[in-house]
């Protein structure tokens, strides 16, 4: 196979011209997705793609073209198209490539050398075990929907006219399903189980399936409680859904567009002292970890909110230049077909010291929220937060029974301010990207139920 990093460098040399900046990215991805239903393979897809993307910046005008044709003619046609597009684009003085910076050779432990050779039959059997574990948990589990396994083997080769030339590989594997339970009265509820890692061997199919079954059964037969303001404890998947909105609110691009409820509050107390939010592109075994970002800037660990104080935002090169800041290494690429855009890497709440059970034991009265359904939704611009919820009622530190048909209402501002306990059980949920969250206790939340 052609040395793809050398090829990217060659493309940059071909496309260079006085006063013109050039970047070439080559991605080579192999992906698998499997779905099963009742022990039978419902879908099996395996794909391999390889492509080249060329970005040309000429006087702040950007042109971008991509191809999967690696012939000399195909490559030349692509960089020429990018140059021609740059000539007619609108100029933006903040557009430009980053200066080349040294890239650490630290092992981020994101490459599973075994995954590329794991037989498809082994992946199918893992997923069947996931489904069986859900059904075996309780006969009231009647369906295991969206029972899915997926993996990706990704290679990135990036070079530019500022002297940058680096490559890396990353593997990811994940599985999830939704367990649906039906009670004697015909009422049905659902809950997700999931697992994800850079390493295939880390997936525990029995735990993934059992999680979906256990959660669904636990909330079966839930009834509304009275409308009240009380404490809630959030399961990982629920907390991750809220944190995914917070990630948007902490993007410099969204601030520059005036699209964040946290706007202009840098240096201010925006949460309780239990709240420390990180974006860490260098997290070992992080699902989104990489040595450099989508435009060649070294990834970093950025403390966004430190003990409740808003300290930093996430930046790529473009947004950083607008604010006269340094990029935090948050430029993301969705393969060779896309320009870099600002987004989170491994975005998570710093864990605390208590277990989930210890947090629940400290709640006099409240709701442990197991699953939510979007109603009003979560808006990172206004901060409004409203969701339908199912869960378990807590009385004097003990679970007393299921709750269903209620809504939880707060604002993202109040959510951050009222976090009174953060668990020690940090977990990354693949359903929302690389979002990590421990069990969270949040006080003074409105539960809408019966009058």
Mean pLDDT for the stretch of residues 230-252: 96
Q: 158: closest CA among 336, 288, 302?
A: 336
Question: Residue 398 is encoded by which pair of tokens?
Answer: 């003990």
Question: Residue 345 is encoded by which pair of tokens?
Answer: 């890497």
% of residues, the chain, pLDDT over 70 = 99
Question: How many Å apart are CA 48 and CA 28, to the nearest integer?
Answer: 7
Q: What is the pLDDT of residues 68-122, one digit of tens each?
A: 999 999 999 999 999 999 999 999 999 999 999 999 999 999 999 999 999 999 9
Which CATH number applies to 4-215: 3.90.1300.10, 3.30.2290.10, 3.40.50.10860, 3.40.50.1370? 3.30.2290.10
Question: How many Å apart are CA 130 and CA 280, to the nearest integer?
Answer: 30
Looking at the predicted structure, is the pLDDT value of residue 427 above 60? yes
Question: Residue 18 is encoded by which pair of tokens?
Answer: 């006085």
Q: 265: closest CA among 328, 312, 321?
A: 312
Poorest-pLDDT segment among 95-99, 111-115, 183-187, 350-354 = 183-187
Mean pLDDT for the stretch of residues 353-363: 97
Q: Which residues contact 365 (CB under 8 A, 6 or more apart)?
A: 230, 231, 394, 395, 396
**383 phi-psi bin (left φ>0, alpha ψ -120 to 50, beta other):** left
Give the confidence band of 374 by pLDDT, cuts at 50, 70, 90. Answer: confident
Q: What is the pLDDT of residues 287-314, one digit of tens each?
A: 999 999 999 999 999 999 999 999 999 9
The helix/strand/coil state of 152 is strand
| Residue of 377 and 226 predicted with greater confidence | 226
Question: How many Å apart are CA 54 and CA 17, to the nearest integer?
Answer: 14
Looking at the predicted structure, is the pLDDT value of residue 375 above 80? no
Give the confidence band of 2 by pLDDT, cuts at 50, 70, 90. Answer: low
Give the confidence band of 185 by pLDDT, cuts at 50, 70, 90. Answer: confident
* Residue 202: alpha-carbon gap to chain centroid: 19
Model pLDDT, residue 392: 98
**Do the strands 228-234 and 365-378 form a parallel or antiparallel pair, or are they unpaired?**
parallel
Question: How many Å apart are CA 281 and CA 288, to the nearest integer?
Answer: 7
Model pLDDT, residue 432: 80
Give the confidence band of 383 by pLDDT, cuts at 50, 70, 90. Answer: very high
Helical packing angle, 72-88 and 4-15, nearest 10°: 50
Looking at the predicted structure, is the pLDDT value of residue 1 above 50? no
DSSP 259: -
Poorest-pLDDT segment among 244-253, 308-317, 371-380 = 371-380
The domain limits of the chain are 4-215, 222-451
Are 330 and 194 within 8 A, CB to CB?
no
Looking at the predicted structure, is the pLDDT value of residue 428 above 60? yes
Looking at the predicted structure, is the pLDDT value of residue 398 above 80? yes
The DSSP string of 268-321 is: SB-S-TT--EEEETT-TT-TT--SB-TTSPBP-EEEEEETTEE---B--HHHHH
Q: Which residue has the tokens 């691009």?
A: 253
Question: How many Å apart are CA 65 and CA 72, to the nearest integer?
Answer: 15
Mean pLDDT for the stretch of residues 267-273: 98
Question: How many Å apart are CA 237 and CA 385, to the nearest integer?
Answer: 16
Q: What is the mean pLDDT of the chain?
A: 96
């Amino acid at each position: 196979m052609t040395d793809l990093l050398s090829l990217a460098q060659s493309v940059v040399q071909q496309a260079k011209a006085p006063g013109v900046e050039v970047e070439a990215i080559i991605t080579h991805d192999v992906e698998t997705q499997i779905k099963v239903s009742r022990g039978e393979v419902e879908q099996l897809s395996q794909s391999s793609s390889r492509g080249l993307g060329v970005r040309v910046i000429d006087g702040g005008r950007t042109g971008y073209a991509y191809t999967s044709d690696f012939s000399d003619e195909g490559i030349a046609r692509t960089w020429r198209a990018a140059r021609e597009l740059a000539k007619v684009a609108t100029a933006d003085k903040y557009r430009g490539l980053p200066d080349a910076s040294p890239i650490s050779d630290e092992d981020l432990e994101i490459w599973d050398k075994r995954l590329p050779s794991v037989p498809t039959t082994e992946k199918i059997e893992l997923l069947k075990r996931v489904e069986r574990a859900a059904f075996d948990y309780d006969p009231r589990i009647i369906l295991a929907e969206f029972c899915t396994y997926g993996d990706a083997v990704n290679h990135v080769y990036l070079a530019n006219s500022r002297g940058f030339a680096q490559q890396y590989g990353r593997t990811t594997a994940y599985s999830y399903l939704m367990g649906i339970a039906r009670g004697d009265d015909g009422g049905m509820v659902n809950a997700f189980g999931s697992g994800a890692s850079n390493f295939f061997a880390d997936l525990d199919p029995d735990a993934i399936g059992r999680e979906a079954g256990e959660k669904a059964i636990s909330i079966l037969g839930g009834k509304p409680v009275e409308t009240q303001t009380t404490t809630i404890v959030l399961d990982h998947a629920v907390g991750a859904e809220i944190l995914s909105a917070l990630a948007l609110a902490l993007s410099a691009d969204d601030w520059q567009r005036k699209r964040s409820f946290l706007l202009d509050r840098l240096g201010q107390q925006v949460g309780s002292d239990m709240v420390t939010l990180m974006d860490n592109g260098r997290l070992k075994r992080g699902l989104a970890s990489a040595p450099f970002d989508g435009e060649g800037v070294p990834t970093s660990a950025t403390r966004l909110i430190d003990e409740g104080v808003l300290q930093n935002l996430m930046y790529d090169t473009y947004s950083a230049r607008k604010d006269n800041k340094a990029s935090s290494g948050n430029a993301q690429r969705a393969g060779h077909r896309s320009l870099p855009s600002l987004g989170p890497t491994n975005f998570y709440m710093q864990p605390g010291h208590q277990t989930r059970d210890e947090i629940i034991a400290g709640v006099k009265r409240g709701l442990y929220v197991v699953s939510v359904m979007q109603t009003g939704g979560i808006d990172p611009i206004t901060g409004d937060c409203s969701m339908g919820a199912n869960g378990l009622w807590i009385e004097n530190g003990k679970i007393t029974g299921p709750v269903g048909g209620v809504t939880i209402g707060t604002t993202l501002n109040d959510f951050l301010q009222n976090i009174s306990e953060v668990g020690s059980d940090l977990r990354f949920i693949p359903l929302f990207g690389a979002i990590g969250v421990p069990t969270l206790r949040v006080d003074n939340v409105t539960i809408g139920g019966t009058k």
